[in-house]
Structure 1
Amino acid sequence: MATELEDTREPIVDDQEGPKASPFSPAELLRLDEALTMSSRETGLRFTLYIGELPADTRAGAEELHARSVGDTSQSVLIAVAPDQRVLEIVTGSAAARRLPDRACALAVLTMTGRFGAGDLVGGIVNGLRQLSDQAGHPAAHRPRY
């Protein structure tokens, strides 16, 4: 099942393998969709989520996914989760990185992996998105003042 709202991001789940291939319930997909939508609206950044296998060089694979995403990648943030590989990568575009420094991303990773370890993949992602949104702040707060 692919879910997309107002062209703010790419689908959460790619249904290339059929509608029954999703590991998420409709309620979980809705929860992820709402968290992505709110994060994007609150910050003006475009948050995207990838859940699946990454290549052996997970960082390079996540950066490639980020580069291939639709639209202005400088204002985007990719959260790539590879549960079977036990890997989580956050990739920020150049403008997004000014609002989400490495330290903020590392804290979000810590929050997410704590929930993942407890078996709560969706809750970890939602909490991580909230944390990243809080750190990035509202776009008006980052405009130059004259």
Structure 2
Amino acid sequence: MTAGEVTHAAATPTWHPEVLDGPLTTRQLLRVDEALRIADRTTELTFSVYIGDLADPARGAAERLHGELVDPDQSVLIAISPNQRVLEIVTGERVRRRLPDRECKLAALSMAAAFGGGDLAGGIVSGLAQLADHAGKP
């Protein structure tokens, strides 16, 4: 699998060419992008999804990716490495007040169940919805 990244900016999604060779179809990418847009709009947080291999340790790699976001303190990163069977959710300092670890773990379990059934896009979409619901409105 080629590493790819799907991110969401406030006005326009950022597509990286390598995403088109990744594990999601164009239709699935559009579903994920819409889920990102809804999560951002309803929570006023910034949600991002990374799909690709993560360096060891995976948690540290996910935290480094999260730190590269425009406003890490106000952001949530879902990092998924299908090849390594790894899922990490990293939240910013201000996000943790609204989205505690327990809620992230519940969303991760839900996503992992979908991934195990072969539904990567559906797992991401439902995980984003669950995280946004838990974070609530500001």
- TM-score above 0.5: yes
Any idea what SS the aligned residue of 2:50 has? strand
> How many residues matched?
135
Identity of aligned residues (%): 50
Any idea what SS the aligned residue of 1:88 has? strand
Residue 14 (structure 1) aligned with residue 13 (structure 2): no
CA root-mean-square deviation = 2.2
Any idea what SS the aligned residue of 2:103 has? helix
Structure of greater Rg: 1
Q: What runs of 5+ residues in structure 1 fail to find an aligned partner?
A: 140-146
**Residue correspondence of structure 1 range 47-126 to structure 2 within 5 A:** 47-70=47-70, 72-126=71-125
* Cα separation, partners in 2 of 1:52 and 1:2, compared to 1, 3 Å: closer
**Which structure has more strand as a fraction of its residues?**
2
TM-score, normalised with respect to structure 1? 0.84
Q: Distance in 2 between matches of 1:39 and 1:110?
A: 19
| Alignment check: 8 A CA contact 2:39 2:129 kept | yes
Q: Distance in 2 between matches of 1:115 and 1:36?
A: 18
Q: Which residue of structure 1 lines up, in the alignment, with residue 32 of structure 2?
A: 32
Give 1:123 deviation, angstroms. 0.4
Residue 41 (structure 1) aligned with residue 48 (structure 2): no
Deviations 1:84-127 (A, max 9, x none): 00000000000001100000000000000000000000000101
Moved segments of 4+, more than 6 Å: 1-4
